[in-house]
Amino acid sequence: MRDHRRVGSESIHFVSARLGTSFLVWLVVGIALALPAGLWILQVNMDEMSAGWQGRPGLTVYFDTQATNVEVDATAKYLTEHAAFDQIDLTSAEDALAEFKVYSGLGDALNLLGENPLPWSLTARFVHSIESSILDSLKREVQNLPGVAEVVVEKTWLERLNDISSIVSRLGIVLAVLFGVGAILVTASSVRLAIESRLDELRVLKMVGATQGQVRRPFLYFGAIYGFGGGVIAAMLIAIMLMVIEPPLQSLLGSYQQELNLAGFHPLFLLTILAVGSALGVVGALLAVRQRLRDLELF
Amino acid sequence: MGHIELQHITKRFDNGHEALADVSVEFAEGSMTFLTGHSGAGKSTFLKLLLRADVPTRGRVLVNGVDIAQIPLSRLPRYRQNFGVVFQDHHLLAQRTVFDNVAIPLRVVGMREREIARRVRAALTRVELLGKESLFPGHLSTGEQQRVGIARAVVARPKILLADEPTGNLDPELSIHVMDLFARFNQVGTTVIVASHDVALIESMGLRMLNLQQGRVVDDVLAGADS
Residues 6+ apart with CB under 8 A from B130: B121, B124
User: Cβ B51–A208 below 8 Å, yes or no?
Assistant: no
User: Cβ A3–B107 below 8 Å, yes or no?
Assistant: yes
Which of B104, B112, B113 is the closest to A208 by Cβ? B104
Are B165 and B214 in a shared domain?
Answer: yes
User: Cβ A209–B80 below 8 Å, yes or no?
Assistant: yes
Quote the minimal CA–CA distance from B68 to chain A in Å.
Answer: 15
Return the higher-pLDDT residue of A297 and B102: B102
What is the pLDDT, as a whole number, of residue B7?
A: 94
Beta bridge partners of A126: A85
User: For B96, which residue in chain A has the nearest alpha carbon?
Assistant: A201
Are B117 and B194 in a shared domain?
Answer: no
CATH number of A58-128: 3.30.70.3040
pLDDT digits (tens, 9 = 90+) for A83-109: 778 888 889 988 888 888 777 777 777
Residues 6+ apart with CB under 8 A from B5: B25, B26, B27, B61, B62, B63
Question: What is the Cα–Cα distance from B19 to B56, expressed in whole angstroms?
Answer: 10
Are B69 and B164 in a shared domain?
Answer: yes
Task: Determine contact: B55 vs chain A, CB below 8 A.
Answer: no
Angle between helices B142-154 and B113-126 (to 10 degrees): 130
Runs of H (alpha helix) within A148-211: 154-197, 199-207
Are B107 and B78 in a shared domain?
Answer: no
User: For A214, which residue in chain B has the nearest alpha carbon?
Assistant: B108
User: Cβ A299–B113 below 8 Å, yes or no?
Assistant: no
Residues 6+ apart with CB under 8 A from B180: none
What is the pLDDT, as a whole number, of residue A249?
A: 76
User: For A206, which residue in chain B has the nearest alpha carbon?
Assistant: B77
- Mutation site for A-interface testing, chosen from B82, B90, B99, B104 by largest number of A Cβ within 10 Å: B104
pLDDT digits (tens, 9 = 90+) for A242-255: 888 888 877 776 76
Tell me if B25 is assigned to some domain: yes
Which of B48, B77, B112 is the closest to A209 by Cβ? B77
Instruction: Kindly report whether the global pTM for this prediction surpasses the value 0.80.
Output: no
Tell me if B48 is assigned to some domain: yes
User: For A209, which residue in chain B has the nearest alpha carbon?
Assistant: B77
Which of B44, B48, B108 is the closest to A210 by Cβ? B108
What is the pLDDT, as a whole number, of residue B227?
A: 44
Tell me if B162 is assigned to some domain: yes
Return the higher-pLDDT residue of B68 and A131: B68
What is the pLDDT, as a whole number, of residue B194?
A: 93
CATH number reported for the structural domain that contains residue B25 in this entry: 3.40.50.300
Tell me if B130 is assigned to some domain: yes
Which of A204, A211, A212 is the closest to B91 by Cβ? A204
What is the pLDDT, as a whole number, of residue A166?
A: 81
pLDDT digits (tens, 9 = 90+) for B103-112: 999 999 989 9
Are B74 and B103 in a shared domain?
Answer: no
Boundaries of domain holding B98:
94-157
* Residue numbers of chain A with a pLDDT score lower than 70: 50-57, 128-132, 154-158, 253, 255-260, 299
* ipTM for this model: 0.86
Task: Determine contact: B87 vs chain A, CB below 8 A.
Answer: yes
User: Cβ B78–A297 below 8 Å, yes or no?
Assistant: no
Chain B residues close to A299, C-beta within 8 Å: 44, 48, 53, 85, 87, 91, 164
Question: What is the Cα–Cα distance from A244 to B101, expressed in whole angstroms?
Answer: 52
The last residue of a domain, from among B157, B174, B208: B157
Task: Determine contact: B107 vs chain A, CB below 8 A.
Answer: yes
Task: Determine contact: B80 vs chain A, CB below 8 A.
Answer: yes
Chain B segment 171-210 residues within 8 A of A by beta carbon are: none
- A–B CB contacts, 8 A cutoff, strictly below: 58
Task: Determine contact: B93 vs chain A, CB below 8 A.
Answer: yes
CA B64, B68, B74, B78: dihedral to nearest 10 degrees?
30
Tell me if B17 is assigned to some domain: yes
Which of A203, A214, A298 is the closest to B108 by Cβ? A214
For β-strands B66-67 and B58-63, DSSP reports them as antiparallel
Q: What is the mean pLDDT of chain B?
A: 89
Query: What is the rounded average pLDDT of the residues B171-189?
Result: 87
Runs of H (alpha helix) within B94-155: 98-108, 113-126, 142-154
Tell me if B164 is assigned to some domain: yes
Chain B segment 149-168 residues within 8 A of A by beta carbon are: 152, 156, 164
Backbone φ and ψ of B86, nearest 5° = -120, 130
User: Cβ A207–B80 below 8 Å, yes or no?
Assistant: yes
User: Cβ A208–B108 below 8 Å, yes or no?
Assistant: yes
User: For A207, which residue in chain B has the nearest alpha carbon?
Assistant: B80
Chain B residues close to A206, C-beta within 8 Å: 77, 80
Tell me if B88 is assigned to some domain: no
Helix (H) or strand (E) holding A93: helix A93-104
Q: What's the number of domains chain B is made of?
A: 2
Tell me if B87 is assigned to some domain: no
Quote the minimal CA–CA distance from B130 to chain A in Å.
Answer: 22
Are B2 and B77 in a shared domain?
Answer: yes
Quote the minimal CA–CA distance from B226 to chain A in Å.
Answer: 34
Reported as a pLDDT band with limits 50, 70 and 90, residue B206 is: confident
